[in-house]
Chain A
Amino acid sequence: MVHAAYLMPLLPLAGFVVLAAFGRRLGDPFAGWLGTATVGGAFVVAVITYAGLLGKHAGPAREVTQNLFTWIPVGSLQVKAALLVDPLSVTMVLFVTGISTLIHLYSIGYMKGDKDYPKFFVYLNLFVASMLILVLANNLLFTFVGWEGVGLCSYWLISFWFGRDTAASAGQKAFLYNRLADVGFLIAIFLVFDKTGTLNYLGIFSQASHISSGARTAICLLLFVGAVGKSAQIPLFPWLADAMEGPTPVSALIHAATMVTAGVYLMCRISPLLALAPDARIVVATVGAVTAFVAATIACAQQDIKKVLAYSTVSQLGYMFLAVGTGAYEAAIFLMVAHAFFKALLFLGAGSVIHGLHDEQDLKRMGNLRRYMKITFVTFGIGWLAIAGIPPLSGFFAKGDILDNAFARYRPLWVVGLVTALLTAYYMTRLFVLAFYGDDRWRESSESVAAAGHAHASAAHGGAEPHESPWVMALPLVVLAVLALIGGLLNLPGHLHVDPLGWLTPVFGSALYDAHQSGSLQWTLAVVDGVVALAGLGIGLGLWSRRTENPALEPMVLQKSYFIDEIYDAVIGRPSESASRFAAVFDTKVIDGAVNGVARLARGAGGGLRRIQTGFVRQYALGIVIGAVALLAYMLTRVS
């Protein structure tokens, strides 16, 4: 049963091919159903594979390699296209395929009427196939194939409405940031091959202790550079906010649940190596914690509903890296799964809101939606509570797990994490209140919307009542809400041990850090977490339920995300531009000048020499005589 694993990337890939060829003919909505079916099929296979793996004994028996074909056989470098089926990858594929199926379903309704409807599912299917390859690959290079594939699809999907300049630029920005980070990934691959002679994960881990510690740290840090780009950590995070230009299902799937988690997954995958590189771990944890805090502060001041969620994603990813840095890989995966559920839920809910309000995304122009969109209101509320860390939803347990480990390992980072938890609760409450409570601000804004020249001129509908979404969109919301509610069961601390995730422990083996804290300490910390979450919630309610404008709380610094875009532009963008301009000028003036100069020299020399040709025969005769006399003189010197 485990050997059905290859079907998982294959089904969406087949869907991609079929849709690419015939999508336009299949049209709206059949193309969408086909796309959903392939991904759903992949989910079924994932479940089968899971069952198959459960049937084996825990430990090495659960590391199944499935060879597909030999991809690059060059001398000592033998790279195979092969899949590694172990608990970690199966966990990943389960929630990736599951959430992808739900979001595909959702998109059938959301993208209805779009003129490029089939193309959307083409890209989405390819994305899922690439993500599955990334997760299932058994060697660094094959992972990189999936890595690049998701980056490419992300670019396509962000700039799906490429007629819009902002969307096109956002796609480019995402791609460039990712590509920059990939340099680190590539160098890491080179280094790994140099030091170990293999790119196979299992092979690398078996040799991990034989590499010098400096090399280990370097490899881990370089792979972390790649992860920083893919998972939008400092300093490569600005692209994620701009990526919100894409359709909301894209934001939900790619930029909340799956692609951005690839970085965390990578770091978890190399945990045996990371365990032997303590310096790298500190860097990872610190970057994660700082990013979590900074992103949370930025989210507090954002006015676009999707931007708040985007920075929230960055913040939660920071938490995951904090966990990885601490050595608490299980906690990181736990948060990843729980976050996938509730963040996807929140995004899809936001999509529902946007759809219902005819493409309105500004929080200040929403309000009182609970009256008009009940299902969305309830499910969004569940997501809100989950992410805020309110017990007993999944977010509380997941975040608590991470904070416990941080407390045990890096106390200062624990403080940062706790403050961030407060901020998280606060800004999510702000968002919830502004959108669903208060007055019907969307009614007043119909004229100002027209005046502002909103891109989607559905201002004609402005003032009409927002409607609830169709069932294809509502169903995924409900499913995800349920998962967000009960997801906490996956890894309850202490004695409430359902713990199917305990099966991850052998994967991380000795790398896994378990904060063996006493039961009372654990309860104390849990209470602290809960109090902090409730405090944030309360502050948010207090500040925002009555007033919708609090300029002091939304300073420009935060709205512009600490002016990071401007800083990058000034420090990197402008100098590169001037360097390019200099190079261009250098090329035309110096290099072309040299080449043209040679030509000019030849012409000039020719022009100068041409003056010897006076046309007067007598002067030619003179020239001959000069030559003859010179020859004579030479002969004289040779005569004895």
Chain B
Amino acid sequence: MSIPGAWYLALGAVLFSIGGLGLLVRRNVLVMFMCIELMLNAANLTFVTFARMLNDIGGQALVFFVLVVAAAEVVVGLGIVVAIFRRRRGTTADDLHLMKG
């Protein structure tokens, strides 16, 4: 047989944690976005692992959809980033605090 699923799940956990840490710590908007992608990939990995472990193709179908949605999300998100940062010089997420209560 192949590698036990638990190892993949552990790897997914590691990837997710690193992505989460990066999201919270980095200030550059695009890098934050990339960290989100990392987290999504971790999820994908987990799904595929379960598809194998449970012998259900639904896991892989779901990854398919996640991929599509991630792509759409990136497109729109980057569109917003472009719209916001077109004219300013600063590019950190900390500069966008106009919604301060």
Contacts and interface: CB of A to CB of B under 8 A. Distances in A.
A615 B23 contact: no
B4 interface: no
A610 B93 contact: no
A613 interface: yes
A617 B93 contact: yes
Interface of B: 20, 23-24, 27, 32, 93-94, 96-101
Residue picked from B24, B32, B98, B101, most chain A C-beta under 10 Å: B101
Contacts of B93: 616-618
A611 to B, nearest CB: 7
Contacts of A618: 23-24, 27, 32, 93-94
14 contacts: A610-B101, A611-B101, A612-B101, A613-B101, A614-B100, A615-B97, A615-B99, A615-B101, A616-B93, A616-B94, A618-B24, A618-B93, A625-B20, A625-B24
Nearest to B35: A621
Interface residues of A, number: 12
Contacts of B32: 618
A622 B32 CA distance: 13
Contacts of B101: 610-615
Majority secondary structure of chain A interface residues (helix, strand, loop or mixed): helix
A615 B100 contact: yes
A616 B97 contact: yes
A610 to B, nearest CB: 4
A621 B94 CA distance: 12
The 7 closest A-B pairs by CB, nearest first: A613-B101, A615-B97, A615-B100, A610-B101, A617-B93, A615-B99, A616-B97
Contacts of A615: 96-101
A613 B96 contact: no
Interface string A608-640: 001111111110011001000000000000000
Contacts of B98: 615
A153 to B, nearest CB: 68
Residue picked from A611, A614, A618, most chain B C-beta under 10 Å: A618
A617 B100 contact: no
A504 to B, nearest CB: 89
A614 B20 CA distance: 20
A440 to B, nearest CB: 92
Contact of A613 (B23, B24, B99): B99
Nearest to B99: A615
A614 B97 contact: yes
A622 B24 CA distance: 6
A621 B24 contact: yes
Interface in A570-618: 610-618
B79 to A, nearest CB: 17
A525 to B, nearest CB: 98
A329 to B, nearest CB: 85
Nearest to B21: A625
Contact of B100 (A613, A621, A622, A625): A613
Contacts of A611: 101
Interface string A285-301: 00000000000000000
Contacts of B20: 625
Given A616-B93, A616-B94, A621 B23 contact: yes
Contacts of A612: 101
Contacts of A616: 93-94, 97
Contacts of A610: 101
